[in-house]
Structure 1
Amino acid sequence: MTIPIYSGQDGVKEGTKKLFEEEKSLVFTGLIGLFLAAIIAVFISFNGAAVSPEGNLKHAFSFNAAVGIYILSIAAILPFSTLNNRRRKRFRKLLIGSSFYSYTIETVQHFRGFNPRFSTKGSAADIIAGISFGVVSIILVTLSLWLTIHFFKKIHTERPLLLMGIRYALLSVMIAMAAGIWMSTLQSRYTGDSGNVMTLHGLGFHALQTLLLTGWLLEKAKVNEKTARLLLHAGSISWILSILLIGIQTALGKTVFELSLLPSFIIFLLFIWFVIAALSGWFYLKNKC
């Protein structure tokens, strides 16, 4: 599959590029995260997840898998950004360096039996490692914000639906990043009686797959442009609103999995996104046939 793009500071046409082109190093970095997650999953199946005194290999598994998927998603969309070659190279190096550091700290510390972020049982070195992890997290937030700003600059492209999906997805990622800062401030993923910030954090990042998929399907389905835009806006806005409501429910210290009014409305909004995504898939398959 090829992607016609225009990039660079002046919006100069650079040609037609393939998906993930020039991003082999980012793809490799993402695959390393998935590989580490697979190894940890095998280890857990034989030895269990708990490592005394406070390590939990399930957290290492989910972290490495999530970061790996995130890096692969960024590798896919980076060719659409307005970053010129120099800035794109700098962005890539910082992202790869931060990712490998994060993989290392998350995995090694849990295997050693210590919380990589908020250890209460470790030595001074473990506490310093947790602080450095927080600094790296700020770098990742800054990189995501930088990329989001560039995607919202004026950009000429022959892929408006996919670009729209990317922009909505990055808005969701910003909310997820804010949730990460929230957890760092709390020094925990839990708030109130049963609120879990990690739910907000994780679901916010998954927009890089869900909203991009909807845009790609509608583009390939060759649906009437007005209809396609309406569907994409409706599905993406429903997703963003559901994320915001999850944030409110979490801030109240309540779980999103309880049977009450707010979680019910969250489910309704996610159902709207799901119906539109399924409809987009149906349009795509219909066009293929």
Structure 2
Amino acid sequence: MSNRENVDQLQVEPSIKLFEGEKALVITGIVGFILAVFTKIVIFIQGPVILPEGNLNDVFSFNAAIGSFILSIAAILPLARLKKHKRKLIRWTFVAASLYSYGIETIQNFRGLNPRFSQEATLVDLMAGMVFAVVSLTIVILGLLLMVQFFRIKKPFERHLLIIGTRYAFLSVLAANAAGIWMILLQDRLIGVSGNFIVLHGIGFHAMQTLIIPAWLLEKVQVQEIIQKRLVHIGSIAWMISIIMIGFQTALGRTVFELSTLPILTSLSLLIWFGTALTAAWIFLKIKKAAVKQESRASLSQL
């Protein structure tokens, strides 16, 4: 394939842009990363444990996770084809829920209290924890509403690869939310001998990056549409299989890090997903590099 053909394979800039009109959500996501960095500095200085129950490692991972999730929502919300008032309602509900979540997770742990399952909390702390549970359920409901909206979008639609990746991502988030609700009901993240729902909860949410970014890379280049769709579908299905396996292993009360059938199948599925993501990145970088080289040659020829 010639450099000229590689240049021609770069996509025309789409009319619907990621993050467009979502400054508030972007700022809210960045706040999570700022809090995570601040917490990491404190951990480095004094360690993660604050007696009697506080754990700053939880603060770091929680704020970073919510920050990345909200940034992902900011990216895809313009694609949802929501009416202006509905989009505004979802935007500001996400902002309010995220800010409260940042606050309660950070403040309570820095005070030495578990913000969810505290054994040392006062009545006020317990009430704040109950509100936290309601806020968490609100985020779950918002995610469900957006998932339904993305599955309702009918063809023809622009940025179809991103829509496909987003649909799979929301299915993964649905599993993560189910794990979150289960932890609320159990008032604990542990189950059985060594099962831990926080693993499913965390990995499930990361689909907002792991499944959407490869789709975004593939839409930037004009390779055969059947190749684009196959890579997105195969990678996303492999990811969902791994999520299902993690869910089953956890429900059995066993750790996903042991050497047994389900964790091995999970690892194989994740390897397939990683292979498709790596392929998407390789195609993008190869064509981008060829395009840059062609532009450099064109500039030199004009001198």
Moved more, 42-51 or 121-130: 121-130
Q: Which residue of 1 aligns with 2:88?
A: 89
Using the aligned pairs only, state the percent identity.
Answer: 52
Q: Cα offset for 1:183?
A: 0.8
Q: In the TM superposition, what is the alpha-carbon distance from 1:122 to its structure 2 partner?
A: 1.2
Q: Which residue of 2 aligns with 1:39?
A: 38
Residue 129 of structure 1, CA deviation: 1.2
Residue 212 of structure 1 is matched in structure 2 by 212
SS of the residue 1:152 aligns to: helix
| Cα deviation, residue 2, structure 1 | 8.6
For residues 147-168 of structure 1, what are the alpha-carbon distances to aligned partners after superposition, in whole Å with 9 as ceiling and x for unaligned? 1111111244221111111111
Aligned to 2:231: 231
Q: Residue 222 of structure 1: SS of its match in structure 2?
A: coil
The equivalent residue for 1:250 is 250
SS at match of 2:245: helix
Matched residue SS, 1:221: coil
Q: How many residues align?
A: 278
Please give the alpha-carbon distance, in whole angstroms, between the structure 2 residues aligned to 1:276 and 1:213.
Answer: 11
For residues 42 and 72 of structure 2, the distance between their equivalents in structure 1, rounded to whole angstroms, comes to 27
Q: Distance in 1 between matches of 2:144 and 2:226?
A: 30
Task: Give the residue type in structure 1 aligned to 2:150.
Answer: F
Match of 1:226, SS?
helix
Q: Residue type of the partner of 2:54?
A: G
Output the CA distance in 2 between the equivalents of 1:210 and 1:93.
25
Quick one: distance in 1 between partners of 2:38 and 2:232? 37
Q: Which residue of 1 aligns with 2:197?
A: 197
Greater share of strand: 1
2:166–2:208 Cα contact (<8 Å) kept? yes
Distance, in Å, in 1 between the alignment partners of 2:19 and 2:216 is 15
1-side partners of 2:24 and 2:179: how far apart?
Answer: 28
Return the alpha-carbon distance in structure 2 between the equivalents of residues 231 and 48 of structure 1.
Answer: 43
Amino acid at match of 1:178: A
Partner of 2:272: 272
Amino acid across the alignment from 2:109: H
* Letter of the structure 1 residue corresponding to residue 49 of structure 2: A
- Aligned-partner residue type, residue 66 of structure 2: V
Spell out the pairing of 1:121-200 with structure 2 (5 A cutoff): 121-155=120-154, 156-200=156-200
TM norm structure 1: 0.93
Equivalent position of 1:7 in the other structure: none
CA drift at 1:19: 2.2
Mapped partners of 1:241, 1:206: distance in 2: 15
**Are residues 1:24 and 2:11 paired?**
no
Determine whether 1:284 maps to 2:274: no
Tell me the CA shift for residue 220 of structure 1: 1.8
* Residue equivalent to 1:75: 74
Q: Would you say the 8 A contact 2:18–2:79 is kept in 1? A: no
Give CA-to-partner distance per residue, 1:84-103, whole Å, 9 cap, x none.
Answer: 11000011111101111111
- Compute the displacement of 1:144 (Å): 0.5
TM-superposed deviation, 1:178: 0.7
Task: State the distance in 2 between where 1:162 and 1:20 align.
Answer: 13
The answer to whether the Cα contact below 8 Å between 1:117 and 1:129 also exists between their aligned partners in 2 is: no
State whether residues 97 and 139 of structure 2, in contact with CA within 8 Å, keep that contact through their aligned partners in structure 1. yes
Which position in structure 2 is the counterpart of 1:12? Answer: none
Runs of 5+ consecutive residues of structure 2 not aligned to the other structure? 1-10, 291-303
Contact 1:221 1:285 in 2 (8 A): no
Q: Comparing 138-147 with 215-224, which one deviates more in the overlay? A: 215-224
> Could you say what secondary structure the match of 1:18 adopts?
coil
Counterpart residue identity of residue 140, structure 2 = V
Distance 1:158 1:17, change over 3 A: closer
Q: Which residue of structure 2 aligns with residue 263 of structure 1?
A: 263
CA distance in 1, matches of 2:102, 2:39: 12
- Contact 1:30–1:69 under 8 Å retained in 2: yes
Residue 18 of structure 1 deviates from its aligned partner by 3.0
**1:78-117: per-residue Cα shift (whole Å, max 9, x none)?**
0000211100001111110111111111111001111001
Larger Rg: 2
- State the match for 1:13 in structure 2: none
Contact 1:239 1:270 in 2 (8 A): yes
| Equivalent-residue separation in structure 2 for 1:166 and 1:145 (angstroms) | 13
Matches of 1:233 and 1:257 in 2, distance apart?
Answer: 26
Q: TM-score, normalised by structure 2?
A: 0.89
In structure 1, stretches of 5+ residues that fail to align are 5-15
Compute the displacement of 1:3 (Å).
6.4
Distance 1:81 1:255 in 2: 37
